[in-house]
């Protein structure tokens, strides 16, 4: 896993709802608890230096898992209890909450336990519930299940310690941290104990395991941990036993994973021959936000939740700044992995095509009308429409594509628009609206109509409005459907002209596609060669051009720049994702943006490192405020009137009928005020 880098982080890793967790595999000496305790203490000190807040060790790590009938030897069990006290004493000097595995006796029963320790105190003991007794496992020969854990406490080191599978460990100093512990097989059953614990509020689920190695088993473990973290909307730490366990009949791979809500954050190397550990920063605030939205999660809690006991741990979070051990994607809508990105583009394209096909079939309309600017948004809409017509068996000539040059249209984009229409073999048409726009400027007494170089919003919207008027009237004339071209990013920023093509249409196939994904979609069409070679050459030319609305004449040979007016789309898409998807406060969004954008992207290839910009905290704050004012306060009325269009991803859409409902007359003051928390 790569780690985010930044030169000037503000606050500590425990700010903004993060919590650093770790899973460890300690080298095991079967039947030698004092050596195992020493190894656990050594790893705890290492983790402490890295500001880890929670460190989880494997199942029965103090005794070793593979000692069979030696579990019933008094000498060994006594040595385990003595070794446990040595860990307790050493914990006074280390930072993390420790969860260690050991066999413990209570009321003439032996339990396979996880013991929670912090700063010289025991905070809870959790016995294993489900004891495998099949194939290579014989745990019922040695242990009792948690269902037999009748006493609510266990006396250990002279104190009464909470005992049972119903314990949830909370950290008052870190809102959102609530940990539940289960042991190995507990995860393998149809209803793991952690499921009900999550319904009771647990956000961090820890599993102490001694699952042996076998072909394909690691993949299954990974699947289990990922699905459990996703279904429970939680973090899931898995710590497996490794080198040193007896290999009489089995082998151990020391598998370590950390998942969050279905996503793998960290994974350790299997079959290491020594102690090792992995760590990651869980975003507890994100988990809590996610649960806030999932009403079915709380419905399930009402039906399935069981009583729990809550144990408060007086954990003190570190305060000094530290590198966040978590990858923060610069482009949350675009997968970083090339193959995954191709798969994403393929799926988005299919959603767009099928959405348009169904709309055409449902309305009985067999013609489409599009305005083609030579830019990337209208290009993607035309590509989608062409494939939709092919699959429906409609002739591409019934795609009535128009270029509508006006006062600021360049020869380059006009030429590209023509070539695109011709090579795609759609209807190719041109209506020059230059004179009509000039006449309107004269009629409304605009200075530009008198020859003055006044290029304001009115000047721009006269052209945009005329284009929309022509397209809709052409649709009336030909009984066609106007296909929209506006994208998600423009709708978020209100960078659309009300009632025109980038805002209004009969159906907008691009409505949920962010600007940062748009280029990848067109690039995918090129790479997959789904169109004839001449089309691909035109698409390459379109991809090479910067985004421009071309509503203002070029100044000194330089075309109008959208990003010069509203800011970088890559930042705005980053802001949009974290605000609309998770509801994060501006200060947290700025913190995340700083992690992602403050230094060159070291995970990219050499050329990309040079091409991608960086943004310091001052720039992030500036553009974040621009985004908040535009998104919250000034552009909702446009989104409230947006036409139908397919939702393409879990990142959400801004449709008032599905993902985003908000009043049009709200103030952004609360969000702007919260930005004061950014240094």
Of 295, 312, 329, the residue that ends a domain is: 312
Are 213 and 359 within one domain?
no
Q: What CA–CA distances, in Å, run from 407 to 299, 441, 550?
A: 58, 11, 9
> Considering the domain boundaries, does residue 452 fall inside one?
yes
Instruction: Give percent of the chain above pLDDT 90.
Output: 86
* End-of-domain residue from the set 261, 277, 312: 312
Are the CB atoms for 100 and 115 separated by under 8 Å?
yes
Give the domain CATH number at 631.
Answer: 3.40.50.620
Query: What pLDDT score does 2 carry?
Result: 37
Structure-token pair, residue 306? 């069981």
Secondary structure class of 161 (helix, strand, coil): strand
Domain assignment present for residue 331? The answer is no
- pLDDT number for residue 102: 98
Please tell me the predicted confidence (pLDDT) of residue 399: 98
417-456 residue pLDDT tens: 999 999 999 999 999 999 999 999 999 999 999 999 999 9
Q: Shortest CA distance to 489 belongs to which of 630, 645, 345, 340?
A: 630
Catalytic (active site) residue 128: yes
Which residues are paired to 121 by β-bridges?
118
| 548 and 582 inside one domain | yes
Classify the phi-psi angles of 271: left when phi > 0, otherwise alpha if psi is within -120 to 50, otherwise beta: left
363 is a domain residue = yes
Contacts (Cβ under 8 Å, ≥6 apart) of 647: 351, 512, 653, 655, 658, 659
Residue 247 DSSP symbol: -
Q: Would you call 59 a catalytic residue per the annotation?
A: yes
pLDDT for the residue 608: 43
CA 171, chain centre distance (Å): 25
Q: Please check whether residue 7 lies inside any domain of the structure.
A: no
The Cβ-side half-sphere exposure at 431, using a 13 Å CA radius, reads: 18
Q: Residue 101 belongs to a domain with what CATH number?
A: 3.60.110.10
Half-sphere exposure (Cβ direction) of 295: Cα atoms closer than 13 Å: 0
Residues 488 and 598 in one domain: yes
| Cα distances (angstroms) measured from residue 660 to each of 73, 222, 302, 321 | 63, 34, 27, 35
| pLDDT tens string 197-251 | 999 999 999 999 999 999 999 999 999 999 999 999 999 999 999 999 999 999 9
pLDDT tens-digit profile of 352-371?
999 999 999 999 999 999 99
Query: What DSSP assignment string belongs to 539-577?
Result: HHHHHTSPP----S--BTTB---HHHHH--HHHHHHHHH
Q: Does some domain include residue 376?
A: yes
Q: Is 625 a catalytic residue?
A: no
Q: At what angle do helices 338-363 and 376-392 cross, to 10 degrees?
A: 60
Q: Is residue 292 domain-shared with residue 362, that is, in the same domain? A: no
More confident residue, 373 or 319: 373
348 and 276 fall within a common domain = no
DSSP 8-class letter at 163: B
pLDDT tens-digit map of 156-189: 988 999 999 999 999 999 999 999 999 999 999 9
Task: Give residue 8's pLDDT band: very low, low, confident or very high (50, 70, 90).
Answer: very low
pLDDT at 107 > cutoff 80 = yes
Position 555 scores a pLDDT of: 81
Are 552 and 653 in the same domain?
yes
Which residues lie across from 507 on neighbouring strands?
483
How confident is the model over 586-635, as pLDDT tens digits? 999 999 999 999 876 654 433 443 467 899 999 999 999 999 999 999 99
Estimate to the nearest angstrom the gap between the alpha carbon of 162 and the chain centroid.
Answer: 36
Asked, for residue 319, whether it belongs to a domain, the answer is no
Of 149 and 387, more confident: 387
* CB-based contact 231:81 (threshold 8 Å): no
What percent of the chain is predicted at pLDDT more than 70? Answer: 96
352 plus 283 within the same structural domain: no
Residue 335: HSE in the Cβ half-sphere, 13 Å Cα cutoff: 15
Cβ contacts of 169 within 8 Å, gap of 6 or more: 97, 116, 123, 124, 178, 179, 180, 181, 310, 311, 312, 313
Residue 663 has pLDDT above 90, yes or no: yes
Residue 319 has pLDDT above 80, yes or no: no
**Number of C-beta neighbours around residue 392 at 10 A:** 13
pLDDT at 611 (0 to 100)? 65
Please give the pLDDT value at position 550.
86
Residue of 39, 113, 128, 260 with catalytic role: 128
Examine residue 196 and state whether it is found in any structural domain, yes or no. Answer: yes
Both 375 and 287 in a single domain?
A: no
Burial, 285: exposed, middle or buried (Cβ in 10 Å; 0-12, 13-18, 19+)? buried
Decide if 671 is inside a domain: yes
Banded model confidence at residue 321, pLDDT cuts 50, 70, 90: low
pLDDT value of position 601: 60
The whole-angstrom separation of Cα 37 and Cα 245 is 15
Name which of 118-122, 253-257, 322-326 the model is least confident about: 322-326
Q: What is the pTM of this model?
A: 0.92
DSSP string of 418-433, one letter each residue: HHHHHHTTSEEEE---
Choose between 5 and 320: higher pLDDT.
320
Question: What pLDDT is recorded for position 6?
Answer: 44
Residues of the chain by 3-state class (helix, strand, coil), percent to 5: 45, 15, 40
Average pLDDT over residues 653-663: 91
Name the pLDDT band for 547 (thresholds 50, 70, 90). confident
| pLDDT tens digits along 260-307 | 999 999 999 999 999 999 999 999 999 999 999 999 999 999 999 889
Catalytic residue among 39, 59, 260, 570: 59
Using the predicted structure, report yes or no on whether residue 535 has a pLDDT greater than 50. yes
> 265 and 214, same structural domain?
yes
266 with 396, same domain: the answer is no
Across the range 557-569, mean pLDDT stands at 86
Residues 109 and 161 in one domain: yes
Range of the domain at 549: 338-677
Whether the Cβ atoms of residue 365 and residue 398 lie closer than 8 Å to each other: no
Structural domain count of the chain: 2
Pick the catalytic residue from 113, 144, 174, 184.
184
| Residue 266 shares a structural domain with residue 363 | no
- Strand locations in 35-166 (E): 54-56, 97-106, 109-118, 121-127, 153-156, 159-162
């Amino acid at each position: 896993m790569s780690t985010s880098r930044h030169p000037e982080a503000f606050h500590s890793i425990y700010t903004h709802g993060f919590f650093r967790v770790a899973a460890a595999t300690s080298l095991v000496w079967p039947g030698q608890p004092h050596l195992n305790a020493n190894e656990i203490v050594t790893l705890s000190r290492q983790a402490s230096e890295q500001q880890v807040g929670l460190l989880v060790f494997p199942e029965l790590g103090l005794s070793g898992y593979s000692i069979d009938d030696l579990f019933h030897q008094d000498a060994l069990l006594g040595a385990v209890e003595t070794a446990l006290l040595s860990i307790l004493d050493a914990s006074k000097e280390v930072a993390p909450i420790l969860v260690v595995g050991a066999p413990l006796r209570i009321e003439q029963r032996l339990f396979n336990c996880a013991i929670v320790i912090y700063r010289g105190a025991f905070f809870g003991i959790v016995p294993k519930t489900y004891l495998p007794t099949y194939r290579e496992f014989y745990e019922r020969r040695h242990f009792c299940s948690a269902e037999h854990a009748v006493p609510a406490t266990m006396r250990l080191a002279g104190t009464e310690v909470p005992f049972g599978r119903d314990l949830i460990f909370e950290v008052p100093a870190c809102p959102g941290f609530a940990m539940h512990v289960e042991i190995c097989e507990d995860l393998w059953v149809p209803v793991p104990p952690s499921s009900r614990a999550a319904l009771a509020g647990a956000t961090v689920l820890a599993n102490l395991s001694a699952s042996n190695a076998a072909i394909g088993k690691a993949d299954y473990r990974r699947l289990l941990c990922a699905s459990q973290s996703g279904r429970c909307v939680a973090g899931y730490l898995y710590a497996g036993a490794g080198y040193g366990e007896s290999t009489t009949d089995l082998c151990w791979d020391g598998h370590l994973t950390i998942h969050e809500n279905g996503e793998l954050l960290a994974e350790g190397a299997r079959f290491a021959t020594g102690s090792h550990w992995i760590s990651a920063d869980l975003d507890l605030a994100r988990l809590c936000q996610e649960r806030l939205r999932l009403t079915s999660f709380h419905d399930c809690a009402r039906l399935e939740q069981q009583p729990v006991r809550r144990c408060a741990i007086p954990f003190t979070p570190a305060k000094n700044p530290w590198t966040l051990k978590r990858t923060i994607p610069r482009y949350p809508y675009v997968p970083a992995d090339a193959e995954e990105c191709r798969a994403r583009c393929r799926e988005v394209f299919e959603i767009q095509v099928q959405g348009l096909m169904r709309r055409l079939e449902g309305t009985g309309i067999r013609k489409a009308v599009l305005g083609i600017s030579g830019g990337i948004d209208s290009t993607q809409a035309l590509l989608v429409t062409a494939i939709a017509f092919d699959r429906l068996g409609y002739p591409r000539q019934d795609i009535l594509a128009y270029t509508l040059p006006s006062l600021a249209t360049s020869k380059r984009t006009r030429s590209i628009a023509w070539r695109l229409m011709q090579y795609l073999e759609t209807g190719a048409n041109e209506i020059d609206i230059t004179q009509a726009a000039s006449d309107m400027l004269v009629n409304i007494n605009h200075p530009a109509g008198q020859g003055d170089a006044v290029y304001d919003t009115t000047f721009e919207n006269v052209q945009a409005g005329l284009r929309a008027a022509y397209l809709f009237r052409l649709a009336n004339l030909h009984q066609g459907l106007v296909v929209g071209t506006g994208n998600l990013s423009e709708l978020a920023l209100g960078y659309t002209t009300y009632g025109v093509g980038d805002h209004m249409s009969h159906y907008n196939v691009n409505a949920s596609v962010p600007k940062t994904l748009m280029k990848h979609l067109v690039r995918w069409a090129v790479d997959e060669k789904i169109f004839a070679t001449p089309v691909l050459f035109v698409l390459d030319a379109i991809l090479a051009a910067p985004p421009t609305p071309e509503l203002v004449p070029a100044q000194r040979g330089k075309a109008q720049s959208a990003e010069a007016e509203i800011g970088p789309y890559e930042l705005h898409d980053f802001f949009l994702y974290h605000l609309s998807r998770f509801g994060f406060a501006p200060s947290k969004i700025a913190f995340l943006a700083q992690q992602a954008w403050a230094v060159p992207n070291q995970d990219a290839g050499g050329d990309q490192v040079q091409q991608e910009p960086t943004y310091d905290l001052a720039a992030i704050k500036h553009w974040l405020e621009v985004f908040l004012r535009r998104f919250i306060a000034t552009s909702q009325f446009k989104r409230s009137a947006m036409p139908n269009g397919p939702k393409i991803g879990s990142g959400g859409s801004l449709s008032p009928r599905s993902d985003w409902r908000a009043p049009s007359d709200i103030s952004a003051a609360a969000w702007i005020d919260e930005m004061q928390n950014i240094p």
